[in-house]
Chain A
Amino acid sequence: MTEFAEIWSYLAQEPLLWLTATLAAYAVADAIFRAAGRRPLVNPVLIAVLLLALLLGATGTPYGTYFEGAQFVHFMLGPATVALALPLHANLARVRQSALPLLAALLAGSLTAIFTALGIGWALGLDQSTLLSLAPKSATAPVALGISENIGGSPTLTAVLVILTGIIGAITATPLLNLLRIRDWRARGFAVGVAAHGIGTARAFQVNETAGAFAGIGMGLNALLTAILVPLIVGGIF
């Protein structure tokens, strides 16, 4: 019988192991999420990330090795973003009808996201490199990484901050918007898409189809606006 160490050294070099682990961790996380009655606090991304981080720590696997396998899942973000055109198309009449509130909410939400992140971070004594990595955190991951790199932040740190922002948005949106008594699904979805990009959009789709479509639009428009605003704001401050 082959030594376990030999089998492990084979598996550890192949993308198969960490691709399988990523899907398995998500399947477990999703099962927990369903078992908990889809409560937002039991966020499947958060649980899957924690499970995988513990597994990497326990096996002493570097992130680079993990990503060799997980990149196939990561890659699907591209076609999924393109696919957002379908719910957008299905809701286009309502989007056209609400162009003014949509643009006003986009500008207000985007500016609030950037200035409050920089303001709170600065007041709590975060260093400049962390602040720069924090500024684009509400934009969708690939856009935020590009912005962070351009303004002198750390792209890998930004990736983590973007994901955490999405998880926080997905967890807080429903109770927060209920508390504010905002019942308009367009407003609820759109604000979550602007503030919490794709993870917020995924959460919005779980709750309501219209909210999901508007969240997708919010995410797309804020990707554009953040790419324009953050370099201007950061250039004016630092």
Chain B
Amino acid sequence: MILNLTVLLLFQLSGEVLARALALPLPGPVIGMALLLGLLLARPAVADRLRETASALLAHLSLLFVPAGVGIVGHLGLLEQAGAAILIALAGSTVAAIAVGAAVFVGVARLTGRADD
């Protein structure tokens, strides 16, 4: 468990260092994910070691967004004044993006003969 968390943190750290050193537009953790994927491809046995820790973290992914979400208390003034417009823009845009993304995926999968089994 401790070793596994250390591995995850080391990859995040490498990602942060790379992002800054190369001025990449990506956040460190996303680069860390790509680097870890590279290691898993080279050494598939590592995946078996990390699986339990990763599942435990990902099972409660929702919890990790709560602190940032509570930041809403700092914007109550704007929400009071323009909350309806913001919510309509967010809901309209999110629903449209999910619908378009999923429809394009299914459409292209059919065209290229890669529909799921």
Q: Which positions in A face B, CB cutoff 8 Å?
A: 22-23, 25-26, 30, 44-46, 48-49, 52-53, 56-57, 63, 66-67, 70-71, 73-74, 76-90, 92, 97-98, 100-102, 104-106, 108-110, 112-113, 116-117, 120-121, 124-127, 130, 134, 137-138, 140-143, 146, 156-157, 159-169, 172-173, 176-177, 180, 182, 184-188, 190-192, 194-196, 198-199, 201-203, 205, 212, 218, 220, 223-224, 227-228
Contacts and interface: CB of A to CB of B under 8 A. Distances in A.
Contacts of A173: 98
Given A57-B73, A116-B96, A199 B65 contact: yes
A133 to B, nearest CB: 10
A79 B91 contact: no
Nearest to B28: A78
Contact of A109 (B32, B87, B104): B104
Given A116-B97, A121-B89, A79 B104 contact: no
B30 A81 contact: yes
Q: Which of A73, A78, A120, A185 has the most CB of B within 10 A?
A: A78
Interface in B1-50: 5, 8-9, 11-12, 15, 25-30, 32-34, 36-37, 40-41, 44, 47, 50
Contacts of A84: 33, 58
B98 A172 contact: yes
A49 B36 contact: no
A180 B104 CA distance: 12
Contacts of B54: 83, 85-87
B101 A79 contact: no
Contacts of B55: 86
14 contacts: A44-B63, A81-B12, A82-B11, A82-B29, A108-B100, A109-B100, A112-B93, A112-B96, A113-B94, A121-B86, A130-B82, A140-B27, A167-B69, A169-B98
Q: Secondary structure at chain A's binding surface: helix, strand, loop or mixed?
A: helix
Contacts of B71: 63, 67, 156, 159-160, 163
B94 A195 contact: yes
Interface SS of chain B: helix, strand, loop or mixed?
Answer: helix
Given A109-B100, A121-B89, A191-B100, 10 more contacts: A26-B66, A53-B70, A76-B64, A79-B12, A83-B58, A105-B104, A143-B30, A172-B98, A190-B101, A195-B101
B64 A124 contact: no
A169 B91 CA distance: 8
A88 B37 contact: yes
Contacts of A100: 108-109, 112, 114
Contacts of A26: 60, 62-63, 66
Given A23-B63, A156-B74, A184-B115, A117 B100 contact: no
A160 B78 CA distance: 12
Contacts of A126: 82, 85-86, 89
Contacts of A138: 93-94, 97
B102 A102 contact: no
Contact of A228 (B12, B25, B107, B108): B25
B29 A182 contact: no
A176 B95 contact: yes
B104 A82 contact: no
